Amino acid sequence: MKNEFNQYLIAGVPFIIIGLLVNPWLLIWLMETSFSTTLFSGILVISILLIVIGWGIIYKRNKFLGWMLEKYKEIALILLNLILLIGILNFIAAILLHDKDTLKPVVTYFHTPYDLFKDSIDFMRQIYPGKSDQEILELIKFQSPYANHPILEFQEKVQRSNSYNVGFEGIRFDQKVTEINAASLINGAVWVFGGSTTYGQGVRDDETLSAYLNRIDTSSTYINFGVHAYHQSNEIEKMILLLKKGYLPSRVIFIDGLNDITRMIETNYHPLETPSLAKNAYNSDFNIATTETGNTVLKQLPATRLLRSVFGKEIGPDENIWLPWTNYDDIYDPENLYNTNPRQHFRSTILRSPYKEIDTTALNYITWKLEEFYKANHAFIEKISSAYGFEFSVYFQPIGIISSENPFWKDKSNGINTPLFRNIDYIVPKLKEGIAEWNLPSFYDISNVHDSCAGCYVDLTHYNPRLNKMMAEAILKQRKLIDRHDFETKP
């Protein structure tokens, strides 16, 4: 009996020792880390189970092994039935959620360059005459331009390729401003700010607006600070950062329009508190647009989601709160949804889109916000430019969405009846009227340049080289008129 006991003792002690060692507190101490509640609980259960097995082997011997085998069969049968039951429940839940999850087919009234490249390569060859198919593909597949920035939320991704080259201070290089000389040219140059159209989405480095300005006006150096998705306030922040670093321009140019309109539609903030992207308004919450806490596999099971929806934990599209169109969020009100429930506020924000129907009252309010936005920014830039001793000008850009010659509408007759076209087509003429009436001395409208440029787009919104050249010529022509006027009025 003693020999038998010793045999079981030898077999059971290792289980007890391992069980004692594999405990979450000891592992945390040894690994100098922490575990989630789920992992901590799992390790603790395993530890206890190992100790129990060791104890059973030592003191219950054959009885324990037989009992454990019997319980294993029972537990295995229960688990198998439980798995089958969970599978059946989730199958039923998936059917019940089908209508809720089924998205309405997205109907687009315009072509995307990549789709056309796959389906209508001849069309894209006409858009990019003289370029090889590989060059065209490289230009249109540029889809991830953003890189983090500690102050400006984000900037253009530093990169090197045959078509897109970005480096020092987020500058897109061209034939004159290069990686080698950008740092030596930045002082005394003309800084050009704008969104992706200014950056030159869809065209090579030497085909951007700034590149043509450098080519036509050889007496000055134009530097491309365009950033995808930036609106005018973001551009001002970038300018201020450069000034704080000690750089100084001779002149600053802002090319604005489409992104300003889009952001005023998509968000519900004061015009001067509008973020570059809607999700960036929640950065203190670890960017709730992209970080989902507790988004576990269990929560994603159809049965779990069905239960959450029944008990109000799963917010569906019809349960979102519509933010008002006739006044902006008071973010200093502690009772405002922005403060009481940021996640719900974001869910509500993303319901706003230029692709959706917006009534006339709301469109008038958006236009008013844009007027306040431009006037306040203009007054601020005036003060900054005066303090630092440089000139500036703002140009309202061509808007491709309402261009009668844009070749990317699938069917222009249907396209002009879409909410996207109607919304932009309502706002832009009112802004153009405003620019003529605001009497802002450095704000100019060059949005009609595309009227004489048939098919001057590489997609629905971005300019081809010909339109970039025409815009450069319009800016320089306006500049010459200003110089002549100054000369004629001087005593």
Please write the tens of the pLDDT for every residue from 244-294: 999 999 999 999 999 999 999 999 999 999 988 888 888 766 566 665 545
Residue 368 counted as domain residue: no
> What per-residue confidence (pLDDT) applies to 490?
38
Q: Give the range of the structural domain holding residue 326, as residue numbers without chain letter.
A: 268-349
395: which DSSP letter?
E
Give the residues across from 190 on adjacent strands: 222, 251
The phi-psi region of residue 327 (left if phi > 0; otherwise alpha if psi is between -120 and 50; otherwise beta) is beta
Residue 354 counted as domain residue: no
Give pTM, 2 decimals.
0.77
- What is the mean predicted confidence (pLDDT) over 148-174? 91
Cα 328 from chain centroid? 22
- What is the mean predicted confidence (pLDDT) over 423-435? 96
Check pLDDT > 90 for residue 108: no
CATH number, domain containing residue 123:
3.40.50.1110
Range from 84-98, 336-350, 407-421 carrying the lowest mean pLDDT: 84-98
SS (H, E, C) 9-77: HHHHHHHHHHHHHCCHHHHHHHHCCCCCHHHHHHHHHHHHHHHHHHHHHHHCHHHHHHHHHHHHHHHHH
Residue 362 counted as domain residue: no
Same domain, 256 and 401: yes
Residue 430 counted as domain residue: no
- Sign of torsion over alpha carbons 17, 23, 25, 27: positive
> What per-residue confidence (pLDDT) applies to 382?
97
Check pLDDT > 90 for residue 77: no
Same domain, 135 and 167: yes
Question: For a pLDDT cut of 70, what percent of the chain falls above it?
Answer: 84
Neighbouring C-alpha atoms within 13 Å toward the C-beta of 39 = 8
Does residue 333 or residue 280 have the better pLDDT? 333
Same domain, 87 and 152: no
Say which residues have a Cβ less than 8 Å from residue 97's Cβ, sequence separation at least 6: 302, 305, 306, 309
Same domain, 62 and 188: no
Question: For a pLDDT cut of 90, what percent of the chain falls above it?
Answer: 50
Same domain, 185 and 272: no
Residue 378 counted as domain residue: no
Q: Determine how many CB atoms are found less than 10 A away from the CB of residue 291.
A: 11
> What per-residue confidence (pLDDT) applies to 288?
62
Highest mean pLDDT among 120-129, 192-201, 277-286, 405-414: 192-201
Domain count, the chain: 3
pLDDT band at 404 (very low <50, low <70, confident <90, very high): confident
Check pLDDT > 60 for residue 100: no
Q: By the 8 A CB rule, do 165 and 173 touch?
A: yes
Contacts 24+ apart (CB under 8 A), 33-40: none
Residue 328 counted as domain residue: yes
Same domain, 239 and 138: yes
Element (H, E) at 406: none
Range from 12-16, 114-118, 231-235 carrying the lowest mean pLDDT: 12-16
Check pLDDT > 90 for residue 381: yes
Same domain, 225 and 143: yes
CA distance between the termini of the chain: 122
Same domain, 145 and 256: yes
Check pLDDT > 80 for residue 441: yes
| Mean pLDDT, the chain, integer | 85
Same domain, 255 and 157: yes
Same domain, 283 and 241: no
Residue 97 counted as domain residue: yes
Check pLDDT > 80 for residue 451: yes
Spatial separation of the C-alpha atoms in residues 389 and 400, rounded to whole Å: 35
Spatial separation of the C-alpha atoms in residues 162 and 70, rounded to whole Å: 69
